[in-house]
Chain A
Amino acid sequence: MILPVRAAAVGVITLALNGCATEGGTALPPGEGHLNGAIVVFAAASLTDSFTTIAGSFGEENPGVRVTLNFGGSTGLAAGILAGAPADLFAAASSETMRAVSDAGLAVEPTVFARNFLAIAVPEGNPAGITGLADFADPAKRIALCAPRVPCGAAAARVLDAAGINAVPDTLEEDVRAALTKVELGEVDAALVYRTDVLAADARVDGIELRQAAGAGNDYSITRLSDARNPRAAAAFATYVLGPKAQDLLGEAGFEID
Protein backbone atom coordinates (compact mmCIF):
# COMPACT_ATOMS: atom_id res chain seq x y z
CA MET A 1 0.00 0.00 0.00
CA ILE A 2 1.44 3.34 -0.99
CA LEU A 3 0.41 6.35 0.96
CA PRO A 4 1.11 10.02 0.28
CA VAL A 5 3.31 10.44 3.30
CA ARG A 6 4.23 14.04 2.73
CA ALA A 7 0.66 15.06 2.22
CA ALA A 8 -0.15 13.49 5.56
CA ALA A 9 2.85 14.89 7.39
CA VAL A 10 3.03 18.41 6.05
CA GLY A 11 -0.43 18.75 4.63
CA VAL A 12 -1.74 21.16 2.15
CA ILE A 13 -2.09 24.49 3.85
CA THR A 14 -4.98 26.45 2.58
CA LEU A 15 -5.12 30.08 3.37
CA ALA A 16 -8.76 30.89 3.15
CA LEU A 17 -8.66 34.64 3.06
CA ASN A 18 -11.74 35.00 0.96
CA GLY A 19 -14.92 36.61 2.03
CA CYS A 20 -13.66 40.11 2.60
CA ALA A 21 -13.32 40.80 -1.12
CA THR A 22 -14.75 44.16 -2.06
CA GLU A 23 -17.42 43.24 -4.53
CA GLY A 24 -17.92 46.27 -6.73
CA GLY A 25 -16.41 48.49 -4.06
CA THR A 26 -13.35 49.32 -6.10
CA ALA A 27 -13.31 51.15 -9.37
CA LEU A 28 -10.37 49.22 -10.78
CA PRO A 29 -11.06 47.87 -14.26
CA PRO A 30 -10.76 44.10 -14.66
CA GLY A 31 -7.24 43.12 -15.61
CA GLU A 32 -5.60 45.65 -13.33
CA GLY A 33 -5.08 44.74 -9.71
CA HIS A 34 -8.50 43.27 -9.04
CA LEU A 35 -7.32 39.67 -8.78
CA ASN A 36 -9.51 36.79 -7.82
CA GLY A 37 -9.82 33.04 -7.96
CA ALA A 38 -7.53 30.39 -6.57
CA ILE A 39 -3.89 29.58 -7.21
CA VAL A 40 -1.97 26.46 -6.31
CA VAL A 41 1.73 26.85 -5.50
CA PHE A 42 4.04 23.82 -5.49
CA ALA A 43 7.03 24.85 -3.38
CA ALA A 44 10.20 23.19 -2.09
CA ALA A 45 9.97 21.78 1.44
CA SER A 46 12.61 24.27 2.61
CA LEU A 47 10.22 27.10 1.74
CA THR A 48 7.54 25.81 4.12
CA ASP A 49 7.77 28.64 6.65
CA SER A 50 8.69 31.55 4.38
CA PHE A 51 6.10 30.77 1.70
CA THR A 52 3.38 30.28 4.30
CA THR A 53 4.14 33.79 5.57
CA ILE A 54 4.51 35.23 2.06
CA ALA A 55 1.23 33.68 0.91
CA GLY A 56 -0.48 35.14 3.97
CA SER A 57 0.83 38.60 3.23
CA PHE A 58 -0.02 38.24 -0.49
CA GLY A 59 -3.53 37.19 0.51
CA GLU A 60 -3.97 40.28 2.69
CA GLU A 61 -3.08 42.51 -0.22
CA ASN A 62 -5.16 40.49 -2.68
CA PRO A 63 -8.18 39.40 -0.67
CA GLY A 64 -9.86 37.95 -3.74
CA VAL A 65 -7.19 35.33 -4.26
CA ARG A 66 -7.10 32.05 -2.37
CA VAL A 67 -3.58 30.60 -2.24
CA THR A 68 -3.10 26.87 -1.72
CA LEU A 69 0.43 25.74 -0.89
CA ASN A 70 1.78 22.24 -1.46
CA PHE A 71 5.24 21.58 -0.05
CA GLY A 72 7.51 18.65 -0.78
CA GLY A 73 10.84 17.59 -2.23
CA SER A 74 11.42 19.65 -5.39
CA THR A 75 12.09 16.50 -7.42
CA GLY A 76 8.78 14.94 -6.45
CA LEU A 77 6.93 18.20 -7.08
CA ALA A 78 8.54 18.49 -10.53
CA ALA A 79 7.57 14.88 -11.29
CA GLY A 80 4.02 15.71 -10.22
CA ILE A 81 3.90 18.77 -12.49
CA LEU A 82 5.23 16.74 -15.42
CA ALA A 83 2.51 14.18 -14.72
CA GLY A 84 -0.12 16.90 -14.95
CA ALA A 85 -0.70 17.96 -11.35
CA PRO A 86 -2.91 21.08 -11.29
CA ALA A 87 -0.39 23.70 -10.17
CA ASP A 88 -0.17 27.37 -11.16
CA LEU A 89 3.33 28.04 -9.84
CA PHE A 90 6.44 26.06 -9.03
CA ALA A 91 9.15 27.21 -6.62
CA ALA A 92 12.15 24.87 -6.83
CA ALA A 93 15.14 24.59 -4.52
CA SER A 94 17.63 24.02 -7.33
CA SER A 95 18.24 24.93 -10.94
CA GLU A 96 18.27 21.22 -11.87
CA THR A 97 14.74 20.55 -10.61
CA MET A 98 13.49 23.74 -12.30
CA ARG A 99 15.18 22.64 -15.51
CA ALA A 100 13.17 19.39 -15.50
CA VAL A 101 10.00 21.48 -15.71
CA SER A 102 11.31 24.11 -18.15
CA ASP A 103 12.79 21.46 -20.47
CA ALA A 104 9.30 20.04 -20.78
CA GLY A 105 8.13 23.48 -21.92
CA LEU A 106 5.94 24.01 -18.88
CA ALA A 107 7.74 26.93 -17.23
CA VAL A 108 6.99 30.57 -18.09
CA GLU A 109 9.92 32.82 -17.16
CA PRO A 110 11.62 30.91 -14.34
CA THR A 111 13.38 33.51 -12.18
CA VAL A 112 15.87 33.08 -9.35
CA PHE A 113 14.45 34.71 -6.21
CA ALA A 114 16.77 33.57 -3.41
CA ARG A 115 19.84 31.56 -2.57
CA ASN A 116 20.24 29.09 0.27
CA PHE A 117 23.23 27.41 1.85
CA LEU A 118 23.66 24.07 3.49
CA ALA A 119 24.34 23.88 7.20
CA ILE A 120 24.88 21.07 9.67
CA ALA A 121 21.91 20.62 11.99
CA VAL A 122 22.45 18.90 15.33
CA PRO A 123 19.99 18.29 18.17
CA GLU A 124 19.98 21.10 20.73
CA GLY A 125 23.13 21.03 22.83
CA ASN A 126 24.93 18.88 20.24
CA PRO A 127 24.93 15.70 22.37
CA ALA A 128 27.22 13.79 20.00
CA GLY A 129 29.79 16.61 19.86
CA ILE A 130 29.64 17.13 16.09
CA THR A 131 32.26 19.65 14.98
CA GLY A 132 32.16 19.57 11.21
CA LEU A 133 31.73 17.62 8.01
CA ALA A 134 34.44 15.12 9.05
CA ASP A 135 31.98 13.63 11.57
CA PHE A 136 29.79 12.54 8.64
CA ALA A 137 32.35 9.85 7.81
CA ASP A 138 32.21 8.40 11.36
CA PRO A 139 30.13 5.17 11.30
CA ALA A 140 29.50 5.51 15.05
CA LYS A 141 27.53 8.73 14.46
CA ARG A 142 23.92 8.63 13.37
CA ILE A 143 23.66 10.71 10.21
CA ALA A 144 20.71 11.75 8.03
CA LEU A 145 21.17 13.13 4.54
CA CYS A 146 18.63 14.08 1.92
CA ALA A 147 18.25 11.54 -0.87
CA PRO A 148 20.65 12.45 -3.71
CA ARG A 149 17.72 13.02 -6.08
CA VAL A 150 16.36 16.00 -4.14
CA PRO A 151 18.16 19.37 -4.20
CA CYS A 152 19.45 19.29 -0.60
CA GLY A 153 20.82 15.80 -1.24
CA ALA A 154 22.50 16.89 -4.46
CA ALA A 155 24.05 19.84 -2.63
CA ALA A 156 25.15 17.57 0.22
CA ALA A 157 26.85 15.24 -2.27
CA ARG A 158 28.65 18.26 -3.82
CA VAL A 159 29.82 19.58 -0.47
CA LEU A 160 30.99 16.22 0.86
CA ASP A 161 32.68 15.46 -2.44
CA ALA A 162 34.49 18.78 -2.51
CA ALA A 163 35.64 18.23 1.07
CA GLY A 164 36.85 14.71 0.20
CA ILE A 165 34.59 13.14 2.82
CA ASN A 166 33.10 9.70 2.33
CA ALA A 167 29.91 10.08 4.32
CA VAL A 168 28.18 7.09 5.95
CA PRO A 169 24.54 8.17 6.37
CA ASP A 170 22.00 6.01 8.19
CA THR A 171 19.02 7.30 6.26
CA LEU A 172 18.34 9.20 3.05
CA GLU A 173 15.27 11.36 3.58
CA GLU A 174 12.91 12.29 0.79
CA ASP A 175 13.04 16.00 1.52
CA VAL A 176 14.94 18.42 3.70
CA ARG A 177 12.18 18.78 6.28
CA ALA A 178 12.10 15.03 6.84
CA ALA A 179 15.86 15.14 7.52
CA LEU A 180 15.36 18.11 9.86
CA THR A 181 12.63 16.23 11.74
CA LYS A 182 15.02 13.36 12.45
CA VAL A 183 17.35 15.91 14.09
CA GLU A 184 14.53 17.59 16.02
CA LEU A 185 13.49 14.22 17.42
CA GLY A 186 17.09 13.51 18.40
CA GLU A 187 17.06 10.34 16.32
CA VAL A 188 20.20 11.35 14.45
CA ASP A 189 23.34 13.12 15.66
CA ALA A 190 23.57 15.37 12.62
CA ALA A 191 22.04 16.08 9.25
CA LEU A 192 22.88 18.30 6.31
CA VAL A 193 20.00 20.72 5.82
CA TYR A 194 19.70 24.36 4.80
CA ARG A 195 20.63 27.19 7.12
CA THR A 196 17.03 28.41 6.82
CA ASP A 197 15.84 25.09 8.25
CA VAL A 198 18.19 25.45 11.21
CA LEU A 199 16.78 28.94 11.85
CA ALA A 200 13.19 27.72 11.49
CA ALA A 201 13.76 24.99 14.08
CA ASP A 202 15.79 27.28 16.32
CA ALA A 203 14.35 26.00 19.59
CA ARG A 204 15.17 22.34 19.07
CA VAL A 205 18.15 22.40 16.74
CA ASP A 206 21.63 23.92 16.75
CA GLY A 207 23.48 24.65 13.55
CA ILE A 208 26.98 24.74 12.18
CA GLU A 209 27.36 27.08 9.20
CA LEU A 210 28.89 25.77 5.99
CA ARG A 211 28.57 28.96 4.01
CA GLN A 212 32.21 28.89 2.95
CA ALA A 213 32.13 25.24 1.87
CA ALA A 214 32.41 24.71 -1.87
CA GLY A 215 29.14 23.74 -3.51
CA ALA A 216 27.01 24.55 -0.47
CA GLY A 217 24.73 27.01 -2.28
CA ASN A 218 21.49 26.38 -4.15
CA ASP A 219 19.59 28.81 -6.34
CA TYR A 220 15.85 28.96 -5.71
CA SER A 221 13.67 29.90 -8.65
CA ILE A 222 9.97 30.42 -9.16
CA THR A 223 7.98 30.09 -12.33
CA ARG A 224 4.44 30.42 -13.50
CA LEU A 225 3.38 27.22 -15.26
CA SER A 226 2.22 27.38 -18.86
CA ASP A 227 -0.99 25.50 -18.12
CA ALA A 228 -1.83 27.52 -15.00
CA ARG A 229 -5.58 27.83 -14.62
CA ASN A 230 -5.28 31.29 -13.15
CA PRO A 231 -2.33 32.84 -15.01
CA ARG A 232 -3.06 36.43 -13.97
CA ALA A 233 -3.03 35.72 -10.22
CA ALA A 234 -0.10 33.33 -10.71
CA ALA A 235 1.94 36.06 -12.41
CA ALA A 236 1.06 38.44 -9.59
CA PHE A 237 2.25 35.94 -6.99
CA ALA A 238 5.55 35.38 -8.84
CA THR A 239 6.06 39.14 -9.01
CA TYR A 240 5.21 39.42 -5.34
CA VAL A 241 7.86 36.85 -4.39
CA LEU A 242 10.45 38.96 -6.24
CA GLY A 243 9.14 42.16 -4.64
CA PRO A 244 10.58 43.98 -1.61
CA LYS A 245 8.18 42.67 1.02
CA ALA A 246 8.63 38.98 0.20
CA GLN A 247 12.36 39.46 -0.28
CA ASP A 248 12.59 40.98 3.21
CA LEU A 249 10.72 37.99 4.64
CA LEU A 250 13.06 35.58 2.82
CA GLY A 251 16.07 37.52 4.09
CA GLU A 252 14.78 37.28 7.66
CA ALA A 253 14.34 33.53 7.23
CA GLY A 254 18.03 33.23 6.36
CA PHE A 255 17.94 33.17 2.57
CA GLU A 256 20.46 35.23 0.64
CA ILE A 257 18.70 37.78 -1.52
CA ASP A 258 20.00 40.34 -3.98
Chain B
Amino acid sequence: MADPILRLSQLSKRFGQFEAVKGIDLAIQEGEFFTIVGPSGSGKTTLIRMLAGLEEPSDGEILLRGERINETPANRRPTCMVFQSLALFPHRSVGQNIEFPLKMRGVPPVERMNRALDLLRLLRLPEDYYKKQVSQCSGGERQRIALARALAFDPEILFFDEPLSAIDYRLRKTLEKELKDLHRETGKTFVYITHSLEEAMVMSDRIGIMRLGELVQVGAPDEIYSRPANRFVSEFMGEVNVLEVKPNGAGLHCPVLGSTLQGPDGKADFESGYLVIRPEYLRFIAPGETAENTVTGVLYNEYALGSRIQYQVRVGEQVFLVEKLREQRYGGKLDDEVTIGWEARDSVLATE
Protein backbone atom coordinates (compact mmCIF):
# COMPACT_ATOMS: atom_id res chain seq x y z
CA MET B 1 0.00 0.00 0.00
CA ALA B 2 1.16 3.52 -0.78
CA ASP B 3 2.25 5.90 1.93
CA PRO B 4 -0.76 7.32 3.75
CA ILE B 5 -1.65 10.97 3.24
CA LEU B 6 -2.40 11.32 6.92
CA ARG B 7 -0.92 9.33 9.75
CA LEU B 8 -1.77 9.70 13.42
CA SER B 9 0.46 8.14 16.00
CA GLN B 10 -0.45 7.99 19.67
CA LEU B 11 -2.48 11.16 19.21
CA SER B 12 -3.96 12.41 22.49
CA LYS B 13 -5.76 15.45 23.77
CA ARG B 14 -6.32 16.34 27.39
CA PHE B 15 -8.52 19.12 28.73
CA GLY B 16 -7.33 19.48 32.32
CA GLN B 17 -7.93 16.10 33.94
CA PHE B 18 -10.18 14.89 31.16
CA GLU B 19 -8.61 12.90 28.35
CA ALA B 20 -10.84 13.45 25.30
CA VAL B 21 -8.68 11.53 22.82
CA LYS B 22 -6.51 8.66 24.07
CA GLY B 23 -3.52 7.69 21.98
CA ILE B 24 -5.02 7.09 18.55
CA ASP B 25 -3.05 5.36 15.80
CA LEU B 26 -4.50 5.60 12.34
CA ALA B 27 -3.42 5.85 8.71
CA ILE B 28 -5.69 7.42 6.13
CA GLN B 29 -4.93 6.71 2.49
CA GLU B 30 -4.87 9.26 -0.31
CA GLY B 31 -8.29 9.62 -1.95
CA GLU B 32 -10.04 7.68 0.78
CA PHE B 33 -13.46 8.51 2.22
CA PHE B 34 -12.81 7.80 5.87
CA THR B 35 -15.55 8.23 8.45
CA ILE B 36 -15.16 8.38 12.19
CA VAL B 37 -18.31 7.35 13.97
CA GLY B 38 -19.07 7.69 17.64
CA PRO B 39 -21.69 8.82 20.10
CA SER B 40 -21.50 12.30 21.58
CA GLY B 41 -18.62 12.54 24.03
CA SER B 42 -16.56 9.95 22.18
CA GLY B 43 -13.93 12.56 21.30
CA LYS B 44 -14.53 12.47 17.55
CA THR B 45 -15.00 16.23 17.26
CA THR B 46 -11.85 16.88 19.29
CA LEU B 47 -10.00 14.47 17.01
CA ILE B 48 -11.07 16.17 13.78
CA ARG B 49 -10.40 19.62 15.26
CA MET B 50 -6.83 18.50 15.91
CA LEU B 51 -6.56 17.22 12.35
CA ALA B 52 -7.83 20.55 11.01
CA GLY B 53 -5.47 22.52 13.25
CA LEU B 54 -8.08 24.14 15.46
CA GLU B 55 -6.88 22.27 18.53
CA GLU B 56 -3.32 21.42 19.45
CA PRO B 57 -2.59 17.80 20.41
CA SER B 58 -1.37 17.16 23.96
CA ASP B 59 0.64 14.15 22.84
CA GLY B 60 1.48 12.15 19.76
CA GLU B 61 1.93 13.20 16.18
CA ILE B 62 -0.05 14.15 13.10
CA LEU B 63 1.87 13.47 9.92
CA LEU B 64 0.73 14.87 6.60
CA ARG B 65 2.58 13.02 3.84
CA GLY B 66 5.18 12.12 6.42
CA GLU B 67 5.67 15.63 7.75
CA ARG B 68 4.75 16.56 11.27
CA ILE B 69 2.03 19.24 11.29
CA ASN B 70 1.17 19.33 15.01
CA GLU B 71 2.19 22.97 15.34
CA THR B 72 0.99 24.18 11.94
CA PRO B 73 -2.04 26.41 12.53
CA ALA B 74 -5.24 25.76 10.59
CA ASN B 75 -4.72 28.69 8.22
CA ARG B 76 -1.45 27.23 6.98
CA ARG B 77 -2.60 23.64 6.53
CA PRO B 78 -3.60 22.45 3.06
CA THR B 79 -6.84 21.13 4.52
CA CYS B 80 -10.32 22.54 4.90
CA MET B 81 -13.19 21.76 7.21
CA VAL B 82 -16.92 21.86 6.62
CA PHE B 83 -18.49 22.73 9.96
CA GLN B 84 -21.65 21.39 11.53
CA SER B 85 -23.31 24.80 11.25
CA LEU B 86 -21.66 25.18 7.82
CA ALA B 87 -20.31 28.52 9.12
CA LEU B 88 -21.21 30.42 5.98
CA PHE B 89 -20.64 34.16 6.21
CA PRO B 90 -24.12 35.66 6.56
CA HIS B 91 -22.93 39.13 5.53
CA ARG B 92 -21.51 37.95 2.22
CA SER B 93 -23.08 36.82 -1.04
CA VAL B 94 -22.79 33.23 -2.26
CA GLY B 95 -20.00 34.26 -4.62
CA GLN B 96 -18.07 36.12 -1.90
CA ASN B 97 -18.43 33.11 0.38
CA ILE B 98 -16.97 30.74 -2.19
CA GLU B 99 -14.18 33.17 -3.07
CA PHE B 100 -13.18 33.79 0.53
CA PRO B 101 -10.32 31.25 0.73
CA LEU B 102 -8.97 32.57 -2.58
CA LYS B 103 -9.24 36.19 -1.47
CA MET B 104 -7.26 35.32 1.66
CA ARG B 105 -4.56 33.91 -0.61
CA GLY B 106 -4.44 37.03 -2.75
CA VAL B 107 -5.90 35.49 -5.91
CA PRO B 108 -6.95 38.27 -8.34
CA PRO B 109 -10.72 39.00 -8.57
CA VAL B 110 -11.31 37.72 -12.12
CA GLU B 111 -9.60 34.43 -11.42
CA ARG B 112 -11.57 34.12 -8.17
CA MET B 113 -14.84 34.67 -9.94
CA ASN B 114 -14.09 32.09 -12.62
CA ARG B 115 -13.20 29.55 -9.99
CA ALA B 116 -16.40 30.34 -8.04
CA LEU B 117 -18.52 29.90 -11.17
CA ASP B 118 -16.79 26.58 -11.95
CA LEU B 119 -17.56 25.40 -8.44
CA LEU B 120 -21.19 26.48 -8.70
CA ARG B 121 -21.42 24.31 -11.80
CA LEU B 122 -19.66 21.40 -10.09
CA LEU B 123 -22.12 21.57 -7.20
CA ARG B 124 -25.04 21.94 -9.65
CA LEU B 125 -26.05 25.40 -8.45
CA PRO B 126 -27.33 27.96 -10.98
CA GLU B 127 -24.76 30.57 -11.97
CA ASP B 128 -26.97 33.48 -10.94
CA TYR B 129 -26.59 32.28 -7.34
CA TYR B 130 -23.23 34.02 -7.47
CA LYS B 131 -24.89 37.29 -6.46
CA LYS B 132 -27.51 35.80 -4.15
CA GLN B 133 -27.47 36.35 -0.39
CA VAL B 134 -26.72 33.26 1.65
CA SER B 135 -29.81 33.95 3.77
CA GLN B 136 -32.03 33.44 0.74
CA CYS B 137 -30.75 29.93 0.04
CA SER B 138 -32.37 26.71 1.22
CA GLY B 139 -30.71 24.16 3.52
CA GLY B 140 -29.56 21.92 0.70
CA GLU B 141 -28.23 24.86 -1.29
CA ARG B 142 -26.27 26.14 1.69
CA GLN B 143 -24.75 22.70 2.04
CA ARG B 144 -23.52 22.91 -1.54
CA ILE B 145 -22.24 26.45 -1.05
CA ALA B 146 -20.26 25.31 1.97
CA LEU B 147 -18.81 22.45 -0.08
CA ALA B 148 -17.94 24.77 -2.95
CA ARG B 149 -16.22 27.13 -0.52
CA ALA B 150 -14.26 24.29 1.06
CA LEU B 151 -13.10 23.09 -2.35
CA ALA B 152 -12.21 26.59 -3.58
CA PHE B 153 -8.51 26.56 -2.73
CA ASP B 154 -8.10 22.95 -3.76
CA PRO B 155 -7.23 21.53 -0.33
CA GLU B 156 -5.60 18.11 -0.10
CA ILE B 157 -7.96 16.84 2.58
CA LEU B 158 -11.52 17.85 3.36
CA PHE B 159 -12.79 17.43 6.91
CA PHE B 160 -16.47 17.24 7.72
CA ASP B 161 -17.83 17.76 11.22
CA GLU B 162 -21.35 16.32 11.06
CA PRO B 163 -22.54 18.73 8.38
CA LEU B 164 -25.71 16.73 7.74
CA SER B 165 -26.87 16.23 11.32
CA ALA B 166 -29.25 19.20 11.39
CA ILE B 167 -30.93 18.36 8.09
CA ASP B 168 -34.21 16.49 7.78
CA TYR B 169 -34.17 12.83 6.87
CA ARG B 170 -35.09 12.92 3.19
CA LEU B 171 -32.74 15.73 2.22
CA ARG B 172 -30.01 14.09 4.26
CA LYS B 173 -30.35 10.89 2.28
CA THR B 174 -29.99 12.83 -0.98
CA LEU B 175 -27.02 14.85 0.28
CA GLU B 176 -25.22 11.72 1.54
CA LYS B 177 -25.23 10.36 -2.00
CA GLU B 178 -24.27 13.73 -3.50
CA LEU B 179 -21.33 13.90 -1.13
CA LYS B 180 -20.16 10.46 -2.18
CA ASP B 181 -20.53 11.48 -5.84
CA LEU B 182 -18.51 14.61 -5.13
CA HIS B 183 -15.84 12.44 -3.55
CA ARG B 184 -15.63 10.42 -6.77
CA GLU B 185 -15.62 13.51 -8.94
CA THR B 186 -12.87 15.34 -7.04
CA GLY B 187 -10.83 12.31 -6.00
CA LYS B 188 -9.88 14.10 -2.79
CA THR B 189 -9.36 12.59 0.63
CA PHE B 190 -12.48 13.06 2.76
CA VAL B 191 -12.44 12.62 6.52
CA TYR B 192 -15.94 12.67 7.89
CA ILE B 193 -17.33 12.72 11.43
CA THR B 194 -20.80 11.53 12.30
CA HIS B 195 -22.77 9.91 15.08
CA SER B 196 -24.81 7.93 12.59
CA LEU B 197 -23.31 4.64 11.49
CA GLU B 198 -26.04 4.42 8.87
CA GLU B 199 -24.74 7.65 7.32
CA ALA B 200 -21.18 6.33 7.51
CA MET B 201 -22.20 3.08 5.78
CA VAL B 202 -23.67 4.89 2.79
CA MET B 203 -20.61 7.00 2.06
CA SER B 204 -17.41 5.58 3.43
CA ASP B 205 -14.59 3.47 2.09
CA ARG B 206 -13.53 2.78 5.64
CA ILE B 207 -15.06 3.49 9.01
CA GLY B 208 -13.43 4.01 12.38
CA ILE B 209 -15.63 3.59 15.43
CA MET B 210 -14.77 5.72 18.44
CA ARG B 211 -15.75 5.30 22.03
CA LEU B 212 -14.52 7.27 25.06
CA GLY B 213 -11.57 8.70 23.15
CA GLU B 214 -10.40 5.44 21.61
CA LEU B 215 -10.81 3.77 18.25
CA VAL B 216 -12.62 0.51 18.93
CA GLN B 217 -12.71 -0.81 15.40
CA VAL B 218 -11.49 0.31 12.00
CA GLY B 219 -12.59 -1.40 8.83
CA ALA B 220 -14.60 -1.40 5.65
CA PRO B 221 -18.37 -0.95 6.14
CA ASP B 222 -19.02 -4.62 5.33
CA GLU B 223 -16.46 -5.78 7.83
CA ILE B 224 -17.91 -3.67 10.60
CA TYR B 225 -21.41 -4.73 9.70
CA SER B 226 -20.72 -8.44 9.67
CA ARG B 227 -17.91 -8.69 12.22
CA PRO B 228 -18.38 -6.10 14.96
CA ALA B 229 -15.44 -6.19 17.33
CA ASN B 230 -17.49 -5.87 20.48
CA ARG B 231 -20.92 -5.35 21.91
CA PHE B 232 -20.63 -1.56 21.67
CA VAL B 233 -19.99 -1.66 17.94
CA SER B 234 -22.74 -4.19 17.31
CA GLU B 235 -25.31 -2.17 19.22
CA PHE B 236 -24.11 1.01 17.59
CA MET B 237 -24.95 -0.59 14.26
CA GLY B 238 -28.63 -0.42 15.06
CA GLU B 239 -31.03 -2.87 16.60
CA VAL B 240 -29.45 -6.27 17.16
CA ASN B 241 -30.16 -9.27 19.34
CA VAL B 242 -27.57 -9.60 22.08
CA LEU B 243 -27.38 -12.68 24.31
CA GLU B 244 -24.98 -13.03 27.21
CA VAL B 245 -23.14 -16.34 26.83
CA LYS B 246 -20.33 -18.42 28.35
CA PRO B 247 -18.64 -21.44 26.69
CA ASN B 248 -19.46 -24.72 28.46
CA GLY B 249 -17.79 -27.40 26.35
CA ALA B 250 -20.90 -28.38 24.41
CA GLY B 251 -21.37 -24.88 23.05
CA LEU B 252 -22.34 -21.53 24.54
CA HIS B 253 -24.43 -21.49 27.64
CA CYS B 254 -27.01 -18.70 27.69
CA PRO B 255 -28.30 -18.13 31.25
CA VAL B 256 -31.30 -15.98 30.29
CA LEU B 257 -32.63 -18.67 27.93
CA GLY B 258 -31.41 -21.52 30.10
CA SER B 259 -30.12 -23.38 27.08
CA THR B 260 -26.94 -24.07 25.17
CA LEU B 261 -26.47 -22.39 21.80
CA GLN B 262 -24.11 -23.02 18.90
CA GLY B 263 -21.82 -20.12 18.09
CA PRO B 264 -19.66 -19.36 15.07
CA ASP B 265 -16.32 -21.11 14.56
CA GLY B 266 -13.05 -19.58 15.58
CA LYS B 267 -12.45 -17.39 18.61
CA ALA B 268 -11.07 -20.29 20.64
CA ASP B 269 -9.90 -17.88 23.31
CA PHE B 270 -13.43 -16.58 23.93
CA GLU B 271 -14.10 -16.78 27.66
CA SER B 272 -17.34 -14.89 28.18
CA GLY B 273 -19.28 -12.22 26.38
CA TYR B 274 -22.13 -11.88 23.98
CA LEU B 275 -23.63 -13.64 21.04
CA VAL B 276 -24.89 -11.06 18.56
CA ILE B 277 -27.46 -11.95 15.89
CA ARG B 278 -28.76 -9.37 13.43
CA PRO B 279 -32.58 -9.30 13.17
CA GLU B 280 -32.52 -10.19 9.46
CA TYR B 281 -30.63 -13.43 10.19
CA LEU B 282 -33.45 -14.70 12.41
CA ARG B 283 -36.29 -16.58 10.76
CA PHE B 284 -39.54 -18.19 11.73
CA ILE B 285 -39.23 -21.96 11.86
CA ALA B 286 -42.27 -23.78 10.51
CA PRO B 287 -43.06 -27.27 11.89
CA GLY B 288 -40.81 -29.79 10.24
CA GLU B 289 -38.03 -27.27 9.57
CA THR B 290 -34.89 -26.94 11.66
CA ALA B 291 -32.09 -24.53 12.36
CA GLU B 292 -28.87 -24.86 14.33
CA ASN B 293 -30.30 -22.69 17.10
CA THR B 294 -34.00 -22.44 17.87
CA VAL B 295 -36.05 -20.83 20.61
CA THR B 296 -39.79 -20.72 21.14
CA GLY B 297 -41.70 -17.69 22.35
CA VAL B 298 -44.70 -15.50 21.77
CA LEU B 299 -45.13 -13.04 18.90
CA TYR B 300 -45.72 -9.87 20.87
CA ASN B 301 -45.83 -7.11 18.24
CA GLU B 302 -44.92 -6.16 14.71
CA TYR B 303 -43.59 -2.92 13.21
CA ALA B 304 -43.66 -1.92 9.56
CA LEU B 305 -40.27 -0.46 8.51
CA GLY B 306 -40.97 0.40 4.89
CA SER B 307 -39.58 -2.44 2.82
CA ARG B 308 -39.23 -4.68 5.87
CA ILE B 309 -41.35 -5.80 8.79
CA GLN B 310 -39.89 -6.17 12.24
CA TYR B 311 -41.35 -8.62 14.74
CA GLN B 312 -40.91 -8.61 18.47
CA VAL B 313 -40.78 -12.13 19.88
CA ARG B 314 -40.64 -12.63 23.63
CA VAL B 315 -38.91 -15.71 24.97
CA GLY B 316 -39.36 -15.44 28.73
CA GLU B 317 -37.40 -12.34 29.79
CA GLN B 318 -35.53 -12.10 26.51
CA VAL B 319 -36.85 -9.97 23.65
CA PHE B 320 -35.87 -10.97 20.12
CA LEU B 321 -36.22 -8.79 17.04
CA VAL B 322 -36.83 -10.57 13.74
CA GLU B 323 -36.83 -8.72 10.44
CA LYS B 324 -38.38 -10.01 7.23
CA LEU B 325 -38.86 -8.46 3.84
CA ARG B 326 -42.43 -7.34 3.31
CA GLU B 327 -42.92 -10.13 0.73
CA GLN B 328 -41.79 -12.77 3.22
CA ARG B 329 -43.90 -11.66 6.14
CA TYR B 330 -45.02 -14.03 8.83
CA GLY B 331 -48.51 -15.35 8.13
CA GLY B 332 -49.80 -15.72 11.68
CA LYS B 333 -51.19 -13.23 14.18
CA LEU B 334 -50.08 -11.58 17.43
CA ASP B 335 -49.83 -13.79 20.55
CA ASP B 336 -49.13 -16.86 18.41
CA GLU B 337 -46.59 -19.24 19.84
CA VAL B 338 -43.70 -19.10 17.38
CA THR B 339 -40.37 -20.79 16.99
CA ILE B 340 -37.53 -18.69 15.67
CA GLY B 341 -34.07 -19.81 14.75
CA TRP B 342 -30.74 -18.96 13.19
CA GLU B 343 -27.61 -20.63 11.89
CA ALA B 344 -24.49 -20.55 14.02
CA ARG B 345 -22.40 -18.92 11.25
CA ASP B 346 -24.82 -15.96 11.09
CA SER B 347 -24.06 -14.99 14.67
CA VAL B 348 -21.04 -13.11 15.98
CA LEU B 349 -19.21 -13.40 19.28
CA ALA B 350 -18.45 -10.09 20.91
CA THR B 351 -16.73 -8.98 24.08
CA GLU B 352 -18.03 -6.17 26.25
Asked whether A and B interact, the reply is: no
Residues in chain B within 8 A of chain A (CB atoms) = none
